[in-house]
Structure 1
Amino acid sequence: MPFINVNITKGATNEQKAELIEGITDLMVKILDKNPFSTHVIINEVETENWGIAGRSVKKLREEGKTANISKK
């Protein structure tokens, strides 16, 4: 029974999260031959001020426009 935990910064739509859940489940079935009915996908959304990269919060990096290499936003 696979249990996949995905951490993302807040901002994804419900539709995007549904696509992630479906896509991750499909990959587990395709690559590892797992049963989709016992595959669990959990999405945790983290506030950008609580996610750090290279010693800076994502919120601060986005405010400074320094996320071109790490984020689309």
Structure 2
Amino acid sequence: MPTINVQMFEGRTLEQKRAFVQAVTEATCKSLGCAPGSVDIIIQDVSRDNWATGGRLWSEPAPEA
């Protein structure tokens, strides 16, 4: 049973999440040859205050070049 963990910024709509999990489930079943009922997807919505890249929180403005 594949379990897929996805972390993304919060703010997606329920409709967007539905479309996403459907697409990921289809791709997983096609590539791994498993049944849709065996695919678990866990979505974790993360605040931009709790995500950083290159030493900068995503909630902070980008530095001026």
TM over 0.5: yes
CA root-mean-square deviation: 1.6
Partner of 2:8: 8
Structure 2 residue runs of 5 or longer lacking an equivalent are: none
TM-score w.r.t. length of structure 2: 0.89
Structure with the bigger percentage of helix: 1
4+ aligned runs moved over 6 Å, structure 1: none
Task: With a CA cutoff of 8 Å and minimum separation of 6, indicate the structure with the bigger relative contact order.
Answer: 2
SS at 1:59's partner residue? Answer: coil
Any unmatched runs of 5+ in structure 1? 67-73
| Number of positions where the alignment pairs a residue of Structure 1 with one of Structure 2 | 64
Alpha-carbon distance, 1:31 to partner: 1.0
Aligned-partner Cα distance in 2 for 1:4–1:20: 12
TM-score w.r.t. structure 1 length? 0.80
